[in-house]
């Protein structure tokens, strides 16, 4: 798994630059918001590369797209929102996320430039400046912290214990972030978080050692999902169970519907889903890549939408 990630290390650097150019004016959206008028409301998307719809392009370079879960959720909820009241309303999507963002980056600033200094500061500014006009906030954060740390846990004598220690630190860092967002958004604004699918499941296709890694990752990712769930619940923020939507713990053997070379015999359902909904197993120049494809982002959006009031 680690070797696969290394393939795209240079691509990530380029993608971060591309994302930085996209996000560099993010604090300026406050000025744009003030021009929107009394009938303009906002869906604010925060988080990592998933929040800005990163996918590998034809050359395998991960770049932001308009097919992410925030974009698809926005497209789904906008028509009803705009016609729900007697007066015409307009919902706008504000994407403040940054590829590669960790919790430390989110709080203190990372690869993407924000005039306010960090994604959290930019979000707090926007939410505060547009009080009463925020329809929805979604956030995914912590996945990069886990991935960066778990790659080191895999080679230790107690990888699950190592992953649990890592998860404890993630939620300790996450709790004050959620508190700051809730304070800025106010008690009545809908904020929805999410947990993550398990990209390590693709290792199952790589022989006995890969199967062992996939099995181990199931326990580690399930544990961090539990930690995330508890932290969002404690913050009074509903959590979209993306891990469940991807059936990340379902090892039921099913007939493979994947293209060659993974098209024969039986596969665990969770392995097949990670192949169907991400680029981890795709037999094309874009993979392996942990990001969701358009269908995967659609599944995430569909998991979030029922949590809306």
Mean pLDDT confidence for 208-217: 95
Using DSSP's 3-state secondary structure scheme, residue 37 falls into coil
Contacts of 224 (CB under 8 A, 6+ apart): 142, 146, 163, 166, 167, 170, 195, 196
Tokens, residue 205: 């296709």
Q: Would you give the end-to-end CA distance of the chain in angstroms?
A: 39
Residue-level pLDDT at 36: 56
* Residue 53, CB-side half-sphere exposure with 13 Å CA sphere: 21
- pLDDT (0 to 100) of residue 83: 83
Q: Does residue 302 have a pLDDT over 90?
A: yes
Report the CATH number that the domain containing residue 137 is assigned in CATH. 3.40.50.1110
Give pLDDT tens digits for 251-261: 999 999 888 88
Judged against a pLDDT cut of 50, whether residue 17 lies above it is answered with no
182 vs 285 pLDDT, higher one:
182
**Across 214-220, average pLDDT:** 97
Report yes or no: 32 and 48 within 8 Å, Cβ to Cβ.
no
Q: What is the pLDDT of residues 103-153, one digit of tens each?
A: 999 999 999 999 999 999 999 999 999 999 999 999 999 999 999 999 999
Mean pLDDT of 225-248: 97
- Quick one: how many helices (H) and strands (E) in the chain? 12, 11
Distance between CA atoms of residues 293 and 270, nearest Å: 16
The Cα–Cα gap between 138 and 106 comes to 14
CA–CA distance, 53 with 68 (Å, rounded to integer): 3
Encode pLDDT of 29-52 as tens digits: 444 444 456 789 999 999 999 999
Beta strand extents in 66-189 (DSSP E only): 90-95, 134-140
> How many whole angstroms separate alpha carbon 93 and alpha carbon 25?
15
- Mean pLDDT lowest among 14-18, 118-122, 182-186, 223-227: 14-18
Percent of the chain with pLDDT over 90: 77
What domain range is 232 assigned to? 2-307
pLDDT band per the 50, 70, 90 thresholds, residue 2: very low
This prediction has a pTM of 0.91
Distance CA 289, CA 59 (A): 12
| Mean pLDDT within 168-186 | 98
pLDDT of residue 85: 67
Please return the burial class of 74, using the count of CB atoms within 10 Å of its CB with bins 0-12, 13-18 and 19+. buried
- Count how many domains the chain has: 1
| CB-based contacts of 306, cutoff 8 Å, min separation 6 | none
Q: Are 203 and 217 in contact (CB under 8 A)?
A: yes
Q: What is the mean pLDDT of residues 217-233?
A: 97
Question: Which residues contact residue 44 at a Cβ distance below 8 angstroms, ignoring those fewer than 6 apart?
Answer: 94, 96, 123, 126, 127, 134, 136, 137, 138
Strand 40-47 and strand 90-95: pairing?
parallel
Question: Which structure tokens are listed for 79?
Answer: 């028509």
Instruction: Give the pLDDT mean for 241-252.
Output: 98
Give dist(CA 255, CA 87) in Å, integer: 52
List C-alpha distances in Å: 34 to 127, 188, 191, 210: 12, 21, 22, 53
Q: Take residue 86 and report the two structure tokens written for it.
A: 């007697």
Closest among 288, 291, 301 to 242, alpha carbons compared: 301
Mean residue pLDDT across the chain: 89
């Amino acid at each position: 798994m680690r070797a696969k990630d290394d393939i795209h290390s240079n691509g990530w650097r380029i993608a971060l630059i591309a994302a930085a150019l996209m996000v560099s004016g993010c604090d300026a959206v406050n000025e744009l918001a003030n021009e929107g008028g009394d009938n303009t409301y906002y869906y604010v998307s925060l988080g990592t590369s998933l929040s800005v719809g990163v996918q590998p392009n034809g050359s395998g370079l991960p770049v932001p797209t308009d097919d992410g879960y925030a974009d698809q959720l926005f497209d789904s909820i906008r028509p009803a929102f705009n016609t729900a009241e007697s007066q015409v309303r307009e919902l706008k999507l504000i994407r403040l996320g940054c590829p590669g963002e960790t919790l430390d980056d989110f709080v203190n600033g990372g690869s993407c430039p924000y005039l306010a200094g960090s994604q959290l500061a930019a979000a707090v500014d926007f939410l505060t400046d547009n009080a009463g006009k925020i329809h929805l906030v979604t956030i995914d954060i912590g996945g990069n912290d886990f991935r960066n740390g778990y790659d080191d846990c895999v080679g230790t004598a107690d990888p699950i214990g190592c992953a649990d220690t890592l998860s404890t630190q993630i939620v300790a860092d996450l709790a004050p972030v959620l508190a700051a967002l809730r304070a800025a958004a106010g008690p009545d604004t809908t904020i929805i978080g999410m947990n993550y699918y398990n990209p390590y499941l693709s290792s199952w296709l790589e022989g006995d050692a890969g199967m062992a890694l996939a099995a181990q990752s199931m326990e580690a990712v399930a544990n961090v999902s539990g930690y995330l769930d508890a932290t969002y619940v404690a913050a009074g923020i509903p959590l979209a169970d993306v891990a469940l939507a991807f059936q990340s713990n379902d090892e039921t053997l099913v007939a493979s519907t994947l293209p060659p070379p993974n098209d024969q015999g039986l596969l665990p359902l969770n392995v097949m889903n990670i192949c169907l909904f991400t680029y981890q197993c795709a037999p094309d120049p874009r993979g392996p890549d942990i990001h969701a494809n358009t269908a995967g982002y659609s599944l995430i959006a569909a998991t979030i939408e029922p949590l809306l009031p």
